[in-house]
């Protein structure tokens, strides 16, 4: 499972659902967001809407300019802000997880 379904991603990019470039980017987007926030958003029963927003932003950025793929230094201010919000949420979720065990 990915943060964005292929249907959601295709809608955002206005491409076909079987676009190979898009399909190749989805796991990379998930991995980047997980690495940036410290939480596996793809394992949540319901995907956090902020994680979906970050995934949409990152997908568009990388799809439009593949040279930026994986580069932290060229992420937009808005995307960095969303990732920071997700990181704070991940800290909260990790604390709740620790309290429940």
Nearest Cα residue to 38 out of 78, 93, 75: 93
Q: What is the pTM of this model?
A: 0.89
Q: What is the pLDDT of residue 71?
A: 63
Select from 36, 48, 21, 25 the least CA-distant residue to 79: 36
The answer to whether the CB of 26 falls within 8 A of the CB of 2 is: yes
Name which of 76, 88, 86, 70 is nearest 25 in CA terms: 70
- Where residue 74 falls among pLDDT bands split at 50, 70, 90? low
pLDDT of residue 93: 95
Contact between 43 and 51 under an 8 Å Cβ cutoff? The reply is: no
- Show me where the domains of the chain are located: 6-100
């Amino acid at each position: 499972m990915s943060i964005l379904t292929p249907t959601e991603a295709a809608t955002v990019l206005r491409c076909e659902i079987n676009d190979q470039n898009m399909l190749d980017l989805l796991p990379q987007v998930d991995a980047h967001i997980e690495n940036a926030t410290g939480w596996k958003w793809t394992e949540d029963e319901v995907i956090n809407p902020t994680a979906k927003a970050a995934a949409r932003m990152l997908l568009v950025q990388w799809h439009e300019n593949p040279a930026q793929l994986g580069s932290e230094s060229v992420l937009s201010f808005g995307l960095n802000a969303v990732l920071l919000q997700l990181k704070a949420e991940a800290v909260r979720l990790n604390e709740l997880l620790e309290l429940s065990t």
